Amino acid sequence: MIIIVLRFFLFCLSTYGYRIYIERKFGYPSKLSLIVVFCANIIVLYIASLLGFLSGTAIAMFLIGLLLFSVNLFRDKNDSKIRLFSLDLTRIWMIGYFLIFSVILLQSSLVHYDNFSHWAVIVKYLITEASLPTATTGIISFTSYPIGSSLFVYYVTLIVGYHEGVMLLGQFMLIMAALYSLFSVIRDSSRTLMTSSLFLTIALFNYFNIAIRMNNLLVDFILPLLALAAVSGIYVLRKNFLLSSIHTILLLSVLAIVKNSGLFFVVIVLIYYLYTSIKNFNKEQSKIILLVVGTGSTVMFSISTFILWEVHVKNTFTEEVSKHSVNISSYQDIFAEKTNEITTQIIHTFTSTVIDWHSLSTQGIIFVNVIFIGAYLIIRVGFKRKNSLIKMLFLTDAIVILYYIGILGMFLFSMPIEEALVLAGFERYASSMVIFSLGILSITLVQEMDSLLYEQTIAMRNHRSYKSIKTKKYYQYSSILLLFFSTGLILSESNGMMFSNKNYENEIPYLIKNITGDNQVLNNASYLIVSADKESIDSYYTQYVGKYYLYSNQVDAIENFIISDEEFISTLSNYDYIVVIDEHYTFNALAKKILNINIKQQVYSSEELLANYNNR
């Protein structure tokens, strides 16, 4: 673990080298620079992976970052006016948040189903093979899934060290960078109330993210955060067309290859970018051409990574496109399988779930609407000031409705009947929109709150910049209350993750990993996992976990061993290895009866198990 910490420290120095460079070279806002660096890392790795130079590019990128840090450190020693790092309330709180969760995540292990069906498997494949999957790579089940965030997790894992906790930490770093960018919208960072409001927003993100949580590699939480980071940057850089366009390209080109559903957020952010660019651009005719070319290029480059990925999938997996790729033909085939009765049932279940106030996502949408309306009334009636909150409420609700229609379309057109009927993953998909809506609410509120301050000139603000002693006390008490409440929510979430860690020994991944270890050599051996956990086998959870740790595509699992002696021998003969992960009475009894072996929880070669039987 000490080696991991030291290598992580070097990774941070490399990242900081890039941050210093873009901040000083291009005047990039410090709260936006981290997410921009990470997105640039992903784009470079993405291009390198398509060209076949992944690992070499990753190492070179890491070393260049260290070089940039060293050069700037040497320069700063000769200039006493320059400070490498400074602390304020935002940095202190975010560093504390990061340290608490990082310590927990480094001690965490993968548990969620989707880690083993795809997200952890693709990172492991990139680490061990240093290339993208090909048509002959059977270990990757979902070949059309984009690899945006997986590339960053790969980068962190390659430099820091291969470990489940490091993979989780890498994903968390990307999340933290996106969260930190939200603070860039605060006009005056010395105003504690605005900062504390965003602290609370981040804490509420964790609450409404309970279906996804931090201790896995799923990307549904990353999608809205990258979109919010893009919106924050566009707002802050709205007077600088060039930087605003670059920021949009970097963030959206990554967002487009995190997951196919990220395209919805890409479109929303692009509309905002176009609106902001047109609104703030010079109306001279000579400048209009620049606006058209600039915005057109931004839109094109923002979606170029997605187009490249679709081309790559089509060219690489020519025989599997209909199964894995997103296209009209596959939509038609899946929808054709659903009868009118099934379609009606799916729509009814979807509608019932959306309007069910017990649903956490529905509670989130209601919460956002209540806060929007409440804040509008307080400012309009209490402060007698016009504000944009109702306009933003209508806009946010329109986005929510469109997103929910998109989710329904996914259940109807791209999801198998069994999963669609139970709305598999609905809360996870819906929570992405809750988080995005909550983020938009917070960004809007921060601007409106700042406009209510007694002193509007930032340079004139100090501890006396209040209308009265009474309003100053209200301000201070509100700030402290928000700060403590948000910190409490963060600590509560950390306790939840620690509780999950304590129960890890009862999980299927622990049972398998404890016996097989984590094999890092891709192989074609066939394995049979024997387990008494019927539910996990029926859901293919055990098989996916086995494929990940055994690192083989040929992994089956069986619970039902109520079979004849001949069938028992035939079953064992079909596999190279038998993996027994728990007490299975029927299997143990058959093994004792037929093979005269007392079964233990371990890995057996089928040749070893059948030796006594074959020698009869």
Query: Pick from 493, 353, 371, 492: which is nearest to 430 by CA?
Result: 353
Strands of 517-615, DSSP E: 527-530, 555-558, 577-580, 603-605
Q: What is the mean pLDDT of residues 222-241?
A: 96
pLDDT tens-place string over residues 507-526:
999 999 999 999 999 999 99
Q: What is the mean pLDDT of residues 138-143?
A: 90
Taking the alpha carbons at both ends of the chain, their separation in whole angstroms is 51
pLDDT of residue 616: 59
Long-range contacts of 78-82 (CB under 8 A, 24+ apart): none
> pLDDT band at residue 93, thresholds of 50, 70 and 90?
very high
pLDDT of residue 63: 98
- Whether the CB-CB separation of 517 and 581 falls below 8 Å is answered with no
Listed range (67-71, 181-185, 217-221, 339-343) with the worst mean pLDDT: 339-343
> pLDDT band at residue 324, thresholds of 50, 70 and 90?
very low
More confident residue, 166 or 138: 166
Distance CA 13, CA 31 (A): 17
- Whether the CB-CB separation of 482 and 197 falls below 8 Å is answered with yes
Is pLDDT above 90 for 84?
no
pLDDT tens-place string over residues 440-484:
999 999 988 877 664 455 555 555 555 556 666 777 788 889 999
Q: What is the mean pLDDT of residues 349-366?
A: 93
Listed range (88-92, 170-174, 249-253) with the worst mean pLDDT: 88-92
Q: What is the mean pLDDT of residues 313-321?
A: 75
Q: What is the mean pLDDT of residues 604-615?
A: 82
- Whether the CB-CB separation of 566 and 591 falls below 8 Å is answered with no
Q: Could you tell me whether strands 577-580 and 603-605 are parallel, antiparallel, or unpaired per DSSP bridges?
A: antiparallel
Query: Pick from 112, 232, 226, 144: which is nearest to 184 by CA?
Result: 232
Which amino acid, 216?
N
- Whether the CB-CB separation of 154 and 94 falls below 8 Å is answered with no
Is pLDDT above 70 for 171?
yes
pLDDT of residue 13: 96
